[in-house]
Amino acid sequence: MDWFAGLRVLSLESRRAEEMATLIRKYGGVATVAPSLREQKLDLSAHLARFEAGLAAADIHAVACMTGVGTQLFLRDLAARDPRRLEQLKTVSLLARGNKPAQVLKTFGLTGTLVPRPHTWHELQHHLLTQLKPGQHVVILEYGDTAPAVMLRTLSAAGLRVTSVPVYRCVFPHDTAPLSRAVRDTALGGQDILLLSSGTQLLHFLKFAERLRLEAEVRAALARMVVVSIGPACSESAAELQVHIDLEANPHKMGILVRSAAEHGPALLRQRLAKTG
C-alpha cells in the first residue's frame, strides 16, 4: 500500500509533535507539524480553598474530570495542600470524560466512572442528570477552554448546583513562527490533509488565520482538503467551527489517527478533487 504516497499532511499537535511527524513520515507523508497551543496553568488557590470547604461539609456530590491534564494539575495541587483530601475524595462520585482522566485518577489512587462512548460532554451531562438529585453539587474541572455553556445551563435548569473550575487555559505557543507558516501555506493550497487531535487545535488555527487576515482563504483551503479527527469530541468541536470532518479515527488514538488518514485519505482527496474539477 502506498499510504499517503507523498501527500502533504499538516498536524497541529503540540505535546507530541515529534512523534506525530515521525508517524506521518512512516506512512509516506510529507509532514508539517505546527504546534497550535500550549497549556497555561491558572492560579487555583481560591478554587481549592472552596473545594476543601465543600469536601469538609460533605457538600460536593460529584466531580467531573474533563481532561487528563486538568485532572492531574488539580489533584496535584489539592494533594500538596493536604494529602488527606484525596482520601476524602473517595466518598465523592468521580466522573471521567474519557480514558485519559480515568488513568490520571488511578495514579492518585482514585476510581472514576468512565462515561459512555463517545465520551463527549453530552454523555457526561446525561450521567449527571440521571445520577444526581436537584440541589446536589457538581464540580466540573474544565477543558483548556470553558465548559460548554449549554451544558452548564441544562444542569442548572435541572436544579443541580454547578461549580466550573478553570484549571488551565490553552493559549498560543511561545514560538508562533511554525503556526504562522502553516497558516500561510494552507491558505496558498500547500496542504492536502489535516490531522486534528483536539478541537482546540482547530480553534487556534482559525484564530491565528484571523490574526493574519487569512481566515477566508484558510477556510476555503480546508474545504478542499481532507480533514481527519481523532474522535467524536474533536469532530463535534470542528462542526461548531463549521469545518467538515471527512474521517474519524477508531479507536481514538494518535497512531490510529495517522494510519486511518494514510489508508483512506488519498482516495477521499481524489474524490474531492474529481467533484471540484
192-221 pLDDT, tens digit each: 999 999 999 999 999 999 999 999 999 999
Q: How far is the CA of 76 from the CAs of 24, 82, 167, in angstroms?
A: 34, 10, 11
Architecture of domain 8-37+174-276: 3-Layer(aba) Sandwich (3.40)
- In contact, 164 and 147? CB cutoff 8 Å: yes
Annotate 206-241 with DSSP letters as a single string: HHHHHHTT-HHHHHHHHHHSEEEESSHHHHHHHHHT
What SS3 class is residue 9?
strand
Report residue 74 as a C-alpha cell.
488539580
What residue has cell string 499517503?
4
| Calpha distance 172→219 (Å, rounded) | 20
- In contact, 93 and 61? CB cutoff 8 Å: yes
CATH number of 40-170: 3.40.50.10090
Residue pLDDT, tens place only, 39-89: 999 999 999 999 999 999 999 999 999 999 999 999 999 999 999 999 999
Predicted local distance difference test score (pLDDT) of residue 233? 86
Let me know if the fold of 8-37+174-276 is the same as that of 40-170: yes
| Calpha distance 248→263 (Å, rounded) | 12
pLDDT of 120 higher than 90 = no
Q: Give 161 or 1, the one with higher predicted confidence.
A: 161
Amino acid at 10: L
Helix (H) or strand (E) holding 102: helix 99-107
- In contact, 202 and 12? CB cutoff 8 Å: yes
Report residue 92 as a C-alpha cell.
465523592
pLDDT of 119 higher than 90 = no
Q: How large is the angle between the packed helices 254-276 and 215-224, nearest 10 degrees? A: 90
- In contact, 201 and 75? CB cutoff 8 Å: no
pLDDT of 144 higher than 80 = no
Per-domain residue ranges of the chain: 8-37+174-276, 40-170
Query: Which residues are 194's β-sheet partners?
Result: 10, 227
Amino acid at 35: P
